[in-house]
């Protein structure tokens, strides 16, 4: 199963302080909107999302349909296919993508330790 691009999404207290910190680690702004309190930072294939006031906790994010440069993949497993596979495997979903739709959708699962994993398809 191919899950798509991977990133870590961090809940931050001060978006500007976090931007400065990650820039000093060699990350560059890849996307987002500082005025809306969110940035996507990239260093090579490593991606860190910084989100102030948007989420309750840090989470891992997979983007089916995207490569690590946020470019659409020719072939990919739709988020609903991944969701169905996990459900059949007995993994509890926190919320679900509507299986009667196509295109962008998302769902969330928690790992055994309560870590949030977001599957977020943009294409």
Query: In this predicted structure, what is the pLDDT of residue 56?
Result: 92
- What is the rounded CA–CA span in Å between residue 120 and residue 47? 15
State the fold for domain 5-121: 2,3-Dihydroxybiphenyl 1,2-Dioxygenase; domain 1 (3.10.180)
Count of positions (residues) in the chain: 123
Query: In this predicted structure, what is the pLDDT of residue 39?
Result: 98
Do residues 74 and 67 touch, judged by C-beta distance below 8 A?
no
Domain ranges of the chain: 5-121
52 Cβ contact partners less than 8 Å away, ≥ 6 residues apart = 11, 12, 13, 14, 15, 18, 37, 38
pLDDT in tens, 14-52: 999 999 999 999 999 999 999 999 999 999 999 999 999
Kindly state the DSSP code that residue 72 receives in the 8-state scheme: B
45 Cβ contact partners less than 8 Å away, ≥ 6 residues apart = 68
Query: In this predicted structure, what is the pLDDT of residue 10?
Result: 98
What end-to-end distance do the CA atoms of the chain give, in Å?
A: 18
- Mean pLDDT of the region 65-71: 96
Query: In this predicted structure, what is the pLDDT of residue 15?
Result: 98
pLDDT in tens, 19-28: 999 999 999 9
Residue 90 pLDDT class (50, 70, 90 cuts): very high
Query: In this predicted structure, what is the pLDDT of residue 48?
Result: 98
- What is the rounded CA–CA span in Å between residue 22 and residue 48? 9
Helix (H, G, I), strand (E, B) or coil at 17: helix
């Amino acid at each position: 199963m191919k899950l798509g691009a991977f990133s870590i999404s961090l809940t931050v207290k001060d978006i500007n302080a976090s931007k400065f910190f990650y820039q000093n680690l060699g990350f560059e702004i890849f996307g987002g909107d500082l005025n809306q309190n969110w940035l996507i930072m990239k260093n090579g294939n490593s991606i860190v999302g910084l989100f102030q006031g948007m989420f309750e906790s840090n989470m891992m994010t997979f983007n089916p349909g995207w490569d690590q440069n946020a470019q659409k993949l020719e072939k990919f497993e739709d988020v609903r296919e991944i969701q169905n596979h996990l459900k059949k495997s007995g993994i509890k979903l926190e919320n679900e993508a509507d299986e009667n739709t196509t295109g962008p959708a998302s769902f969330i699962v928690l790992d055994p330790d309560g870590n949030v994993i977001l599957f977020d398809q943009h294409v």
